[in-house]
Structure 1
């Protein structure tokens, strides 16, 4: 039931925006999504499973946004600038993305273990959610590697400098997540550290 699952995740996210995770009730999430509580438990198994699935969806959404930005037209410098801006804006919009990127889990958020948890779910999406979640360091590597692969194209050229430039931009973006600069300054900072066109 992919439709019900997404509706339940939307309802859980909306509830989390209004109150701490400890005060989010499964019955209210089910009612808000217009499904039975049994459907909620069939999809997620427990409140912990729901929280884990919510975090997984935020991580996947963040990485999909990175892919979209990198697929945009422009030179590598502008694509990396857009990646940094996406990272900071995604963290600003979502407390879960911010927690995933920084490792700082506010008490009001679900804080699932990053390691995989035993899963008995028959729902493939929940089995995936019960798998390992990315740490901040792993997210840096994922974004760096995706950016380097996209910007290098299919040419088997030396990518060490490009990989370093990508990692520098990701880490600069993370510093802007924890200590936000003034509006529009993320792009200025990236352009300052990448004055020329990063070579693939």
Structure 2
């Protein structure tokens, strides 16, 4: 039931924007999504399962945006995407910074036992990434996207360092914002392409 699952996740996210996670009721999420409460429990198993799935979806959406940004503008675009994503989405901000407020669901990062027959739920029940894991995921995606074929090991290591520095600089701008486009400019000043060295 992918359409029902997406509708339920959308309804849960909307509910979260209106009230703390502790006040989000499963019956209300199901009603907003236009499905039965049983359908919600069939998809997610529990409120914790819904929370894990919601966090997983937001992580996946953020990483898809990273891939788009890499193809459109490289590391400066990834930095801007990261700051914009964290400003616009409280769950992305929490995943990137590790700062979970009492208003948010705070699912355990470790895997939880899953008996779900729903593949997407089994994936959500697996381990969720920590902020350090997300940095590593983005760094590795950036290296894969930006490294020319035949790049030496030492140049790959330097590129990986530059990618991590760019992301960590962006994360600092999530905490202490700069003006529009300022994050990309900081990245351009700090991380110089190999061709400029």
Q: Which of the five TM-score ranges fits, normalised by the shorter chain?
A: over 0.9
Once the 2 structures are TM-superposed, how far is the Cα of residue 123 of structure 1 from its aligned partner? Answer: 0.5
1:163 aligns to 2:128 (yes or no) = no
Could you say which residue in structure 1 is the equivalent of 2:81? 86
Unaligned runs of 5+ in 2: none
Does residue 197 of structure 1 match 2:193?
yes
1:1-200 maps to which residues of 2 (within 5 A)?
A: 1-72=1-72, 78-157=73-152, 158-194=155-191, 196-198=192-194
Structure 1: 5+ residue stretches without partners: 73-77
Shift of residue 198, structure 1, vs aligned partner: 3.2
Distance, in Å, in 1 between the alignment partners of 2:194 and 2:92 is 27
TM-score of the superposition, structure 1-length normalised? 0.93
| Distance in structure 1 (CA, Å) of the matches to 2:180 and 2:81 | 13
Partners of 2:45 and 2:4 in 1: CA distance:
14
Moved over 6 A (4+): none
- Decide which moves more: 177-186 or 20-29: 177-186
2: CA distance, partners of 1:117 / 1:40 = 19
For 1:124 and 1:38, how far apart are their aligned partners in 2? 18
Normalised to the residue count of structure 2, the TM-score between the two structures is 0.95
Deviation of 1:169 (Å): 0.1
Moved more, 50-59 or 181-190: 181-190
Tell me the CA shift for residue 38 of structure 1: 0.3
